[in-house]
Amino acid sequence: MNTIPAAKVERWQRFRDNRDKALAARHGWLTLTSFQWLEDSPAAVELVPGLWSTDGTTASLTAVPADGLTLVETGQSMAGTIAASLADEESLMWVQFGGKDGARVVVELAMRGGRYAIRTRDSESPVFTEFQGVPTYPYNPDWEITGRFEPYPEPVDVPIATANPLVDGIHRTVGEVVFRVPGSPHEMRLQAEEEKLGALTVTFHDETNGETTDDWRKLTMPRPRHDAAGNASVVLDFNRAINYPSAFTPYGTCPMPVKNNSLDVRVEAGEMQPYPGED
């Protein structure tokens, strides 16, 4: 039996610890408790004080001191009307209220699919307060795979669906990651997006989805390394495959994989379903 190098396990465990710590942030993804579109006339919304509206270009909030709303950025009490403008896919942690410190709930303003919406982030949500870490497959070095990156001449914008059926998305494909899974007779290809500093991200389906893992997951890999011949190699460590926020909450607008990003194998590595046995 091959012994797994302790250093690799330790690095993976640090990754897991940091991942769970990030999810446990006070107003992080686990605290989402609503997603509501704004209408064109000022109106009350569920779970949040004040009157909310949008003219399509900006979002507006009207409140009185008795509403108990304060601005997240400054802590200033809300009185009167404020407005904000966002680009598509942008978010703003705008106002807060509730709790002993007045910041139990943060209201996030978001622009999704060309429309304004708000999401509440409640630090007393049971999903957050009962969180004990994401279940994962045991670390397996066989799922750390070297492949190659084949860049496109120019990025290609591919329309995709998202976790919210009313929100469409765009996958800016910069190329394809090509690799071979141990035991599989053929090469596999996943369309990739580029992140900061040249890192790549792939969003994918595999045969474990709906059984032991969520409906789709994502994997980020370091910037490709180029050899003297100009070939670009990448390392896909599926032990670091993670869930999108939509695996934890119904209020995410997370991107689904592009049509061809489905692997015909069981990727038994990385994060599993957060709530085993639940639909």
Gap between the Cα atoms of 254 and 263, Å rounded: 20
User: pLDDT of 77-92, one tens digit each?
Assistant: 999 999 999 999 999 9
Closest C-alpha among 80, 43, 87 to residue 62? 80
Report helix, strand or coil for 161: strand
Residue 1 in this model has a pLDDT that exceeds 70: no
**2 pLDDT tier (thresholds 50, 70, 90):** low
Structure tokens at 64: 């009185």
Whole-angstrom distance between the N-terminal and C-terminal Cα of the chain? Answer: 38
Distance of CA 274 to the CA centre of its chain: 14
What does the pLDDT read at residue 278?
A: 47
What pLDDT digit, counting tens, does each position of 18-33 carry?
A: 999 999 999 999 999 9
Rounded to the nearest integer, the mean pLDDT of the chain is 94
pTM of the model: 0.91
Q: Residues 86-131: pLDDT tens digits?
A: 999 999 999 999 999 999 999 999 999 999 999 999 999 999 999 9
At 276 the pLDDT is 52
* Residues 209, 277: Cα–Cα separation, whole Å: 13
What does the alpha-carbon distance between residue 36 and residue 120 come to, in Å, rounded to a whole number?
A: 9
pLDDT in tens, 189-232: 999 999 989 999 999 999 999 999 999 999 999 999 988 777 89
